[in-house]
Structure 1
Amino acid sequence: MSELFDEVDEEVRREQLKKLWDRYSVHFIALMVLVVAAVGGWRGYQYLEAKKAAEAGAAFEKAAELSDQDKHAEAEAAFTELAAKAPSGYRTLARLRAAAEAAPRDAKAAAKMYDDIAADRSVGGEWQDLARIRAAGLLLDSAPYAEMQQRLEPSAAPKSTFRHSAREMLALSAWRNNDMTAARKWLDAIGEDGETPPGLRSRAEALQALLPPVAKS
């Protein structure tokens, strides 16, 4: 008797499944098609992105080779072209390299290129800081201390990645512009920072030895 009930239950389940299939089969098939299309689209996107990255990497290497051969004008043009069409990571690197290639030709123009990177929030904070430091380095010998202060003070903050370089340039700029109070301030900041690199610390100590003694009150 139990076997008969089992057969009846099985038949009822089959009938229920058949009704569900008849009712929802179109939706199920459509869903499966969408899933397959989505997976295929994602795989295609990954392939295209990998291809773009590989092409950008090869173009970057060729531009770097031009720089190694002292063909700086050609290298600058190649990096500039790459920056216009490369994926985001290579784009930022190419912009930085283009500015570096322009520096021997025209320091002010190169500084402007770095300034443009520093002002571009899409490149990320550390890249912006690096561009800011490099621009300031090109203008260190010519810019007044007030300009260097405006450029570099944010990068000289205690937690900034490039604070050591920023403080050194601020100290040098203040010294060259005869602002000994500001120079001492930045040299003290260098000396008090336990993470200051040894080479930079030695240079700061040498510069501090050139400062006039603090007047006694």
Structure 2
Amino acid sequence: MADVFEEVEDQLRAQQLKSAGLKALPWIAVLLVVALIGALAYWGYDHFQNQAGAQASEKYAAAIEAAQRGDVPAAKVALTEVSQKGPPAYRALALMQLGGEAEGNGKNADAVKLFDQAATVAKDPILTDLARLKSAFALMDTAPYSELESRLKPLTAEKRPYRTPAREALAFAKLMNGDTAGARGDFVVLSLSQDATEDARQRAQAAMSLIDSGAAKSLPAAVKAAAALPPMPQGLPQVPQGPAQ
């Protein structure tokens, strides 16, 4: 008799499991459909991103080639298109190229806007910091020290990709602001830094010599006088903006 009851219980359990499975089947099907839609959506997005990246890469390369040929109008048209429609990295690169062109023509205010826009658009921290550094360089001759410090100081933190050139730019900003003691301290650190390039160390040593000779005291006035001059005619070599890396 006990065997009969056990067999009946087994049948009841089997029936309950079957009923539960039938009830769950629609939900399982829905979950599978959702998972499939998600996978297809990801594939489609990834495919779209790859296509957009390839198109932006071609247009960006064509713009650079046009600029190298001297066809600046065509280069600007292509770069403007990439800066508006491309993936974040190419948009940032195109904006920085446009900013460099504006800076080279003495339009520093326009250059700063373009560099700042590139920093906002870029998702990559290296491109973001590069755009911010370029923006600070474009302001070196005209902006007050407080603005330069607010832009450059965050870039000098540990592990930031352009820490050394940002520190050098900040040291020159102090020098132009008349803070020769603070600038000299920064240049001493730069001259001994293993992270700095040989050129950067040599510039730091030259700046220290300039400060020690007393000639640096006339630098702020000289910079202001140079900034007041009209832009150089297009086609002539342009003075580099900001300290080189």
Which TM-score tier does this pair reach, normalised by the shorter chain? Answer: 0.7 to 0.9
Take 1:29 and 1:42, find their aligned partners in 2: how far apart are those partners? Answer: 20
Q: Tell me by how many angstroms 1:165 deviates.
A: 0.9
Q: Percent identity?
A: 29
8 Å contact 1:75–1:101 — kept in the other structure?
no
The equivalent of 1:40 in structure 2 is 40
Q: How many residues align?
A: 206
Q: Which gives a bigger RCO, structure 1 or 2 (Cα 8 Å, sep 6+)?
A: 2
8 Å contact 1:171–1:182 — kept in the other structure?
yes
SS in 2 for 1:207: helix
Moved more, 21-30 or 147-156: 21-30
8 Å contact 2:129–2:155 — kept in the other structure?
yes
The equivalent of 2:155 in structure 1 is 155
Normalising by the residue count of structure 1, what TM-score does the alignment of the two structures yield?
0.74
Matching residue's letter, 2:202: S
The equivalent of 2:115 in structure 1 is 114
**Unpaired stretches in structure 2, ≥5 consecutive residues:** 1-10, 215-245
Q: Tell me by how many angstroms 1:92 deviates.
A: 2.0
Tell me, yes or no, if structure 1 residue 132 matches structure 2 residue 164: no
Q: Tell me by how many angstroms 1:80 deviates.
A: 2.3
User: Could you say what the CA RMSD is over the residues aligned between the two structures, in angstroms?
Assistant: 3.3
Matching residue's letter, 2:109: K
The equivalent of 1:61 in structure 2 is 61
Q: Tell me by how many angstroms 1:162 deviates.
A: 1.5
Matching residue's letter, 1:44: G
Tell me, yes or no, if structure 1 residue 198 matches structure 2 residue 206: no
The equivalent of 2:231 in structure 1 is none
Q: Tell me by how many angstroms 1:174 deviates.
A: 3.2
Aligned pair in 2 of structure 1 residues 99, 18: CA closer, same or farther (>3 Å)? same
Take 1:93 and 1:197, find their aligned partners in 2: how far apart are those partners? Answer: 24
Take 1:125 and 1:146, find their aligned partners in 2: how far apart are those partners? Answer: 24
8 Å contact 1:168–1:190 — kept in the other structure?
yes
8 Å contact 1:52–1:86 — kept in the other structure?
yes
SS in 2 for 1:123: coil
8 Å contact 1:99–1:110 — kept in the other structure?
yes
Normalising by the residue count of structure 2, what TM-score does the alignment of the two structures yield?
0.67
8 Å contact 2:171–2:183 — kept in the other structure?
yes
The equivalent of 2:80 in structure 1 is 80
Q: Tell me by how many angstroms 1:19 deviates.
A: 7.1
**Unpaired stretches in structure 1, ≥5 consecutive residues:** 1-11
Take 1:43 and 1:157, find their aligned partners in 2: how far apart are those partners? Answer: 38
Q: Tell me by how many angstroms 1:54 deviates.
A: 1.4
8 Å contact 2:156–2:167 — kept in the other structure?
yes
